[in-house]
Amino acid sequence: MKILILGAGAIGGYLGSRLVEAGADVNFLVREARRAQLDREGLRLRSVFGDVDCKVVTVSAGELKPDNDLAIVTCKAYDLDSAIEAIGPGLSQNGLVLPILNGLGHIATLNAAFGQDRVLGGTIKLSASRLADGTIKHMNDWHWLRFGEQAGGLSDRVLAVQAAFDGCVGLEAVPQENIMQEMWEKFVHLTTAAAMTCLMRANSGQILATDEGASLFQQMLETSANIARASGYPPSDEFMETYRTLFADRDGTYATSMLRDIEAGNRTEGEQIVGLMLQRAREFDIDSPLLTAAYAHLKAYEVRQANGGKI
Integer-rounded Cα radius of gyration of the chain: 19
Question: Do residues 173 and 195 both lie within one domain?
Answer: no
Question: Do residues 159 and 300 both lie within one domain?
Answer: no
Question: Do residues 60 and 188 both lie within one domain?
Answer: no
Sheet holding 52-54, edge to edge: 52-54, 43-46, 136-138, 128-130
pLDDT higher than 90, residue 190: yes
The enclosing domain of 46 has a CATH number of 3.40.50.720
- Domain with 156 in it: 2-177
Question: Do residues 259 and 296 both lie within one domain?
Answer: yes
pLDDT higher than 90, residue 311: no
How many CB atoms are closer than 10 A to CB 297?
17
User: How far is 38 from 43, CA to CA, in rounded Å?
Assistant: 6
Question: Do residues 49 and 142 both lie within one domain?
Answer: yes
Query: What was the pLDDT predicted at 152?
Result: 96
Question: Do residues 155 and 204 both lie within one domain?
Answer: no
pLDDT single digits (tens) 203-245: 999 999 999 999 999 999 999 999 999 999 999 999 999 999 9
Mean pLDDT of 253-275: 96
Is 122 inside a domain boundary?
Answer: yes
Mean pLDDT of 295-300: 98
Question: Do residues 161 and 21 both lie within one domain?
Answer: yes
Question: Do residues 171 and 190 both lie within one domain?
Answer: no
Domain limit, last residue, from 177, 196, 216: 177
Query: What was the pLDDT predicted at 191?
Result: 99
Question: Do residues 137 and 188 both lie within one domain?
Answer: no
Active-site residues, by number, are 186
Confidence tier at 70 by pLDDT (50, 70, 90): very high
Is 227 inside a domain boundary?
Answer: yes
Is 145 inside a domain boundary?
Answer: yes
Mean pLDDT of 165-176: 96
CB 1 within 8 A of CB 160: yes
pLDDT higher than 90, residue 13: yes
Question: Do residues 133 and 190 both lie within one domain?
Answer: no
Distances (CA, A) of 44 to 17, 53, 59, 71, 215: 8, 5, 18, 21, 42
Domain limit, last residue, from 144, 177, 210: 177
Please state, rounded to an integer, the average pLDDT across all residues of the chain: 97
Is 302 inside a domain boundary?
Answer: yes
**Percentage above 90 pLDDT, the chain:** 97
Domain limit, last residue, from 123, 152, 177: 177
DSSP secondary structure letters along 156-195: HHHHHHHHHHTT-TT-EEEE-S-HHHHHHHHHHHHHHHHH
pLDDT higher than 90, residue 304: yes
Q: 121 by DSSP, 3-state: which?
A: strand
Query: What was the pLDDT predicted at 83?
Result: 97
Question: Do residues 133 and 268 both lie within one domain?
Answer: no
Mean pLDDT of 246-264: 95
Is 116 inside a domain boundary?
Answer: yes
Q: What is the 3-state secondary structure (H, E, C) of 17-33?
A: HHHHHCCCEEEEECCHH
The enclosing domain of 235 has a CATH number of 1.10.1040.10
Question: Do residues 65 and 136 both lie within one domain?
Answer: yes
User: How far is 104 from 180, CA to CA, in rounded Å?
Assistant: 9
Domain count, the chain: 2
Query: What was the pLDDT predicted at 224?
Result: 99
Query: What was the pLDDT predicted at 213?
Result: 98
Is 311 inside a domain boundary?
Answer: no
